């Protein structure tokens, strides 16, 4: 791309509890370059804002582009966000409360900044880029450390009365079930997140269950990652298979609940767990969802895994930037 | 109201599995007259259509009004409906499949007819008449023989890709819980409908539990009604209290799920169970919902019982007629 003084590039930022990923996009939403930095939230809000700015500058520099060519930046933040003010109302993973992210980052970079919840952003990215805006209604469900979601209704992001819609991870699907990080019991997140998978495996091992994971990682399974579960499954590990199947079944039931309630055209699953275990989980998720959904609700609808993987966040950020920039 | 040849009146019809209720409304949606007939679905589709027509004529006649003054009729039917064609796709309680209700009734009455799902219609009635269209987003939840719901999003009825949205009764909230009529286990409906309440009471009595209901109704409790539960509660019946409390708690969890997912401005509860047991259930429902909903989601939202009672259906029918009639 030739050097230009036109402000036509878009930047998407995926701000997570542990890492910042920035992506530079063409006006047609083609990804030109990414850059990654650790978040280091323990250093406080100002330091994180500077790191986001540095990550954006790094990505631009790596692609031989200048920030003057950037029209707007869209950021997904892990928590409750006021998209109008660009404040992060509450983000426990960052230890932020009422953090003026838009204002602070605009001051640092002198580029318009727009902020949204991270799962909303991922859903927006999937809808606009992966599905080319085709579906009028879409639910995005992201299984990672936690479980989050986003809703597209009538072709637009739906955020609800307090801008908190899409908290599908805290839908209770098993009253009296396992304790969730939120304090309730039996949330979808407590049954199908990475945290839930690891908890169940560790519990089974403590109760004397056998798995190749202890050979791979040691008895305490301290450094376990989603990819390790995939490796164990490929080695025919029955304990891991049972735990992953159970998480997939619970995800299928959660998908059916959302189909019964919303009747969306497309349900997209993403996040680290689905990315690592797609082959093992998706067929069970789809089968269970179709089994539990009411007759007539699933005709013509799609339940699919996102192909965007780790890039859903930055992609959605660029979409948000394009939508909101004047 | 003076006799007039202007076609300005609106008719709402609540078509249920056992009864038909018709209401004549002023153009300002004031209820002028109702009439009631049993459905007699065993006589087949044509007979039911004739009975709906007769019920509408009865209501008009009783109010000294003529059908010529009616602008349009809106009907809520208990099942999946295609609101564009006015066909009832599937209504198990009526034993209807692909039933051309709009067409047949228009032929019979020579008045434009519009059809919707019964819970959608009730939600529409509550939104437009009880809340005066105030809430941008609303979930209506109706606890009766089964549990149904309707969604208002961005101020309009939301029906989804296959027009089946709002099946909140078949949201699984207790994996492995009691069997539901739909074949799944642990649906909201299997934990909080009238059927579920009666099942739990009958089970407890079989297991030796004591209740004044057996004195009131005989040992088999065959003719039990929601109102009997209210009477038993007022007599301090501990068995009934426990069952009703459990249903209210499960309803509260279901409400919290919907708040987490949708973040609506208002949640309205209605239906025969709520109408009969409002004093006993609503405080538990609200308390449980606020307890289970995520922080920040409930700020400024309302969780209330509908005041429309049995008239929600006919009211919503009149609203539909007014919205859809040219």
Whole-model pTM: value is: 0.94
Q: Which candidate in A176, A294, A295 is best for mutational testing of the B interface (most B CBs within 10 A)? A: A294
User: What's the pLDDT band for B225 if we cut at 50, 70, 90?
Assistant: very high
Domain boundaries, position A264: 126-308
Q: Do B112 and B165 share a structural domain?
A: no
Q: Within chain A, which residues score under 70 in pLDDT?
A: 1-5
- Is the confidence at residue B3, as pLDDT, over 70? no
The whole-number pLDDT of residue B229 equals: 96
Does residue B180 sit within a domain?
yes
Q: Determine the residue among B140, B148, B160 to mutate to test chain A binding: the one whose Cβ has the most chain A Cβ atoms within 10 Å.
A: B160
Nearest to A138 by CA among A168, A95, A104: A168
- Residues 41-80 (B) with a CB less than 8 A from some CB of A: 80
Q: What is the pLDDT of residues B82-105, one digit of tens each?
A: 999 999 988 888 999 999 999 999
Give B145 or B270, the one with higher predicted confidence.
B270
Q: Which pLDDT value is given to residue A291? A: 97
Instruction: Count A/B contacts: CB-CB distance under 8 Å.
Output: 142
8 A C-beta contact, residue B113 and residue B75: yes
A101 shares its domain with A190:
no
Shared domain for B205 and B112, answered yes or no, is no
Q: Does B168 touch chain A (CB under 8 A)?
A: yes
In a domain, A2, yes or no: no
Q: Specify the number of domains making up chain A.
A: 2
**How far is residue A310 from each of residues A34, B165, B180, B228, B239, measured CA to CA in Å?**
11, 31, 39, 57, 53
Report the CATH number that the domain containing residue B267 is assigned in CATH.
3.30.420.40
Strand, helix or coil for residue B195:
helix
Residue A301 belongs to a domain:
yes
Interval B230-274: pLDDT, tens:
999 999 999 999 999 999 999 999 999 999 999 999 999 999 999
Between residues 232 and 251 of chain B, which touch chain A (CB distance below 8 Å)? 250
Percentage of chain A modeled with pLDDT above 70? 98
Whether residue A159 is found in the same domain as residue A257: yes
Contact at 8 Å (CB) between B86 and B23?
Answer: no
- Is the same domain home to B163 and B38? no
A174 in contact with B at a CB cutoff of 8 Å? yes
What is the DSSP secondary-structure string of A175-215?
TT-SBPTTS-BSBTHHHHSHHHHHHHHHHHHHTT---HHHH
Same-domain check for residues B100 and B38: yes
B186 and B301 assigned to the same domain: yes
Residue B275 belongs to some domain of the structure: yes
| The predicted structure's pLDDT at residue A93 | 84
**Statement to judge: residues B237 and B249 lie in one domain:** yes
Query: What is the H or E stretch that residue B23 is in?
Result: strand B19-25
Contact A264 B161 (CB under 8 A): yes
Q: Residue A85 falls within a domain, yes or no?
A: yes
| pLDDT for the residue A4 | 54
Chain segment B290-325, per-residue pLDDT in tens = 999 998 899 999 999 999 999 999 999 999 999 999
| Whole-angstrom distance, CA of residue B180 vs CA of residue B190 | 5
Q: Any CB–CB contact under 8 A between B141 and chain A?
A: no
In a domain, A3, yes or no: no
ipTM at complex level: 0.93
Inside any domain, residue B294 = yes
Q: B45 in a domain, yes or no? A: yes
Q: Which residues of A touch B165 (CB under 8 A)?
A: 261-263
Please give the average per-residue pLDDT across B168-190, as a whole number: 96
Q: Which of residues 85-114 of B touch A (CB under 8 A)?
A: 89-90
Which pLDDT value is given to residue B93?
84
């Amino acid at each position: 791309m030739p050097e230009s003084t036109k402000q036509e590039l878009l930047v998407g930022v995926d701000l997570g509890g542990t890492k910042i990923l920035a992506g530079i996009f063409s006006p047609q939403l083609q990804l030109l370059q990414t850059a990654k930095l650790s978040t280091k939230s323990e250093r406080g809000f100002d330091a994180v804002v500077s790191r986001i700015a540095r990550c954006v500058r790094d990505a631009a520099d790596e692609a031989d582009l200048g920030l003057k060519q950037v029209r707007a930046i869209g950021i997904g933040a892990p928590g409750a966000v006021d998209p109008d003010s660009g404040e992060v109302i509450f983000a426990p993973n960052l230890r932020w409360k009422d953090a003026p992210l838009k204002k602070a980052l605009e001051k640092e970079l002198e580029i318009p900044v727009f902020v949204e919840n991270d799962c909303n952003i991922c859903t927006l990215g999937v809808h606009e880029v992966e599905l080319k805006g085709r579906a009028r209604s879409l639910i995005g469900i992201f299984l990672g450390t936690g479980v989050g979601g986003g809703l597209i209704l009538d072709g637009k992001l739906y955020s609800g009365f307090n801008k908190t819609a899409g908290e599908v991870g805290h839908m209770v699907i098993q009253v009296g079930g396992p304790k969730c990080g939120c304090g309730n019991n039996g949330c979808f997140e407590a049954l199908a997140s990475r945290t839930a998978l690891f908890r169940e495996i560790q519990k089974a091992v403590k109760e004397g269950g056998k798995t190749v994971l202890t050979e791979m990682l040691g008895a305490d399974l301290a450094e376990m990652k989603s990819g390790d579960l995939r490796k164990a499954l490929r080695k025919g590990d029955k304990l891991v298979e049972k735990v992953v199947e159970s998480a997939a079944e619970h995800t299928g039931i959660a998908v059916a609940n959302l189909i019964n309630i919303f009747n969306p055209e497309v349900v997209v699953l993403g996040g680290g767990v689905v990315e690592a275990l797609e082959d093992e989980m998706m067929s069970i998720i789809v089968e269970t969802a179709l089994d539990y959904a009411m007759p007539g609700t699933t005709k013509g609808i799609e339940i699919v895994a996102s192909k965007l993987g780790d890039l859903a966040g930055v992609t959605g950020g660029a979409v948000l930037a394009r939508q909101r920039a004047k």
